[in-house]
Structure 1
């Protein structure tokens, strides 16, 4: 056991990191491997891979750098997180540009690039860098009126959104826009700005609907299932119905055999069929616990940069989780967004681990951290004659 009297980096980390959040993240990573074991063998068989456990083994391998990243990044200080975000942002911009130039086109999009023999999705790693930098710029703008922090944050949003739309990846674009808007609002936005951004958001959605056939098709199929192919969403709904409250049992699901993305975007539906709605609700509660505990830490922070950066990271995590589950339940049009730590994918798992490692680092207890405490008033004792 590590003693509080010991003064070394591991001891300091152990007594300052949020252990409940850390346990929740490790449990989600393990749950992702278990669900990959349930969902992916049918996919491997369907696409002709000889090893039925190909995706399971890869997910277990991805979990190793994921856990190392999660814990390793949580050792850093807020200043080191800020520097990492700045360097990472520049690197990700370069990789996104390279992806557009030389990346392979898959299903009409260029989102992947091969680095050292591994396929990497740079947009996944851009998201935490963006959240931390926007939080820093908005906080600096509050402290230093001469620094146009809000204008710089708008510039970052424009750069990232343009690169995401060029792929195109409208789901990730929506996620970073919502993150930026949330941080902008928390930092003290006037009602005029709120109305302006609401109008801009509505205009962007209408423009995408009018100009991008892919977006228009998904919205029309969501509003009117008879308007086109809704096979994946309908199959996911049938999987939930077939699972009922308690599920068909591990490995007993049938809809995963015909659901194309059962190990990635629609893994939540596999969970519903094999383990039931009870376990689905439990998983949703775990995500809710992470979001609420992360937000609780962020709101207690006196440092504006730490408060906004942590809020941005937990907002991304919560929004992505809600969007994925909502798509599986046919409450939103399909977005092609993974369920954090649960869906199959190396880039997604390591990037989310990086993001949550940053959150753990930012919310660690620090000696210089103070809390607002109400003063205690003492009334004078009555004099004795």
Structure 2
């Protein structure tokens, strides 16, 4: 029996940009992101109605509809940036970085304040958190700057990269946003390390980080409270962590069932920071192990692809971007499991949050652009 394909086949000789993009894109990473977005939509159905009722929205599915729209936007951003070549990815990241910096400066003057922090700009009913887009843009830009040391050893590339990082860090701390500062610092250090970190910089970063951590602990009451929740739990209110632990313990192996969770109604940030605990209660240990496995698969696949890149700029920047993505997931899960102090960091593609979804789409989209062709190398030139 003969078979005729309904769709036109793309020949190997086809070298159009679309065909090359399709052949070289790491579809394993794309599939992982789509799975996470699907889980996020499912969990918005679980936690969204109770969050809407608690906040006072008339529509019980307010967060569900917004999560669906944000997932579509994030996917579009991810796929659009993945189609860029490495030169245009750098150009786009540079533009995004400087625009985000200007927005972060504006935040200090006209930003919206919530929970003691001034981190958002509001336009026509929408809130924008520029720190979410400045992080991946800075990492890619610094990756390129640090890689230039191989071509032009006498240039002040490391100093310029550090200045960009220091300016961004300073603006984050003025908001204040310590958790994003920690994530940015970890990704920047990874980028610096992969590019070849001089020994003298190790001492500078170590000393500076220690002094800054002590200063933040003593100067910012909310930082002190969050650290004390972890190191001295008897001295502070552990309400959110205790409720998250209760949700995880109630879930058991297979959960109490979709929509049957009780703790989410009493957990203030159930649809954002503590969506992992809601998932554990309603779907059980098996489900959260699968979720963690997806994040682990994406991290391993991403770092493996980054390590294969011969171009120093792409290798360095990709390592920093995958650090940013995977570390944010690890921190959020660690907070939910009470092994890390509360941070306010969302779970990538799963937690509700417009700026977070956009930032993660940008992060993964830029990373996909840098590692194109590397994720399929072991299976041949075209996958």
Q: Report the TM-score, using the length of structure 2 for normalisation.
A: 0.93
Does the Cα contact within 8 Å between 1:36 and 1:56 map onto a contact in 2?
Answer: yes
Does the Cα contact within 8 Å between 1:302 and 1:370 map onto a contact in 2?
Answer: no
1:354 to 356, 362, 367: 362
Aligned positions of 1:1-385 closer than 5 A: 1=7, 2-5=9-12, 6-365=14-373
Does the Cα contact within 8 Å between 2:194 and 2:319 map onto a contact in 1?
Answer: no
Q: For 1:326 and 1:62, locate their aligned partners in 2 and report how far apart those are by CA, in whole Å.
A: 25
Does the Cα contact within 8 Å between 1:4 and 1:15 map onto a contact in 2?
Answer: no
* Cα deviations by residue, 1:215-248 (Å, 9 ceiling, x for unpaired): 1111112112221111001100110000011111
Q: For 1:266 and 1:186, locate their aligned partners in 2 and report how far apart those are by CA, in whole Å.
A: 33
Q: For 2:111 and 2:194, locate their aligned partners in 1 and report how far apart those are by CA, in whole Å.
A: 37
Q: For 1:11 and 1:193, locate their aligned partners in 2 and report how far apart those are by CA, in whole Å.
A: 43
**3-state SS of paired residue (2:88):** helix
Q: Report the TM-score, using the length of structure 1 for normalisation.
A: 0.93
**1:68, CA displacement in angstroms?**
1.1
Q: For 2:97 and 2:201, locate their aligned partners in 1 and report how far apart those are by CA, in whole Å.
A: 26
**1:116, CA displacement in angstroms?**
4.8
Q: For 1:295 and 1:136, locate their aligned partners in 2 and report how far apart those are by CA, in whole Å.
A: 17
**3-state SS of paired residue (2:119):** coil
For structure 1, which segment, 25-34 or 254-263, has the greater mean C-alpha deviation from structure 2 after superposition?
25-34
Structure 2 unaligned runs (5+)? 1-6, 379-383
Does the Cα contact within 8 Å between 2:248 and 2:284 map onto a contact in 1?
Answer: yes
Does the Cα contact within 8 Å between 1:128 and 1:355 map onto a contact in 2?
Answer: yes
* Cα deviations by residue, 1:99-125 (Å, 9 ceiling, x for unpaired): 111012111111110235421110001
**3-state SS of paired residue (2:58):** coil
Larger Rg over CA atoms? 1
**1:4, CA displacement in angstroms?**
3.2
Does the Cα contact within 8 Å between 2:82 and 2:366 map onto a contact in 1?
Answer: yes
For structure 1, which segment, 241-250 or 8-17, has the greater mean C-alpha deviation from structure 2 after superposition?
8-17
For structure 1, which segment, 315-324 or 40-49, has the greater mean C-alpha deviation from structure 2 after superposition?
40-49
Does the Cα contact within 8 Å between 2:71 and 2:349 map onto a contact in 1?
Answer: no
Q: For 1:134 and 1:332, locate their aligned partners in 2 and report how far apart those are by CA, in whole Å.
A: 28
**3-state SS of paired residue (1:110):** strand
Does the Cα contact within 8 Å between 2:112 and 2:122 map onto a contact in 1?
Answer: no
Taking only aligned residues, the RMSD between alpha carbons, in angstroms, comes to: 1.6
Q: For 2:359 and 2:33, locate their aligned partners in 1 and report how far apart those are by CA, in whole Å.
A: 13
Structure 1 unaligned runs (5+)? 372-385
Paired residues, number: 369
* Cα deviations by residue, 1:303-329 (Å, 9 ceiling, x for unpaired): 000001111100000110000000111
Q: Alpha carbons of 1:247 and 1:304: their partners in 2 closer, same or farther (altered >3 Å)?
A: same
Q: For 1:178 and 1:245, locate their aligned partners in 2 and report how far apart those are by CA, in whole Å.
A: 34
* Cα deviations by residue, 1:350-369 (Å, 9 ceiling, x for unpaired): 11011101111111128xx9
**3-state SS of paired residue (2:196):** coil
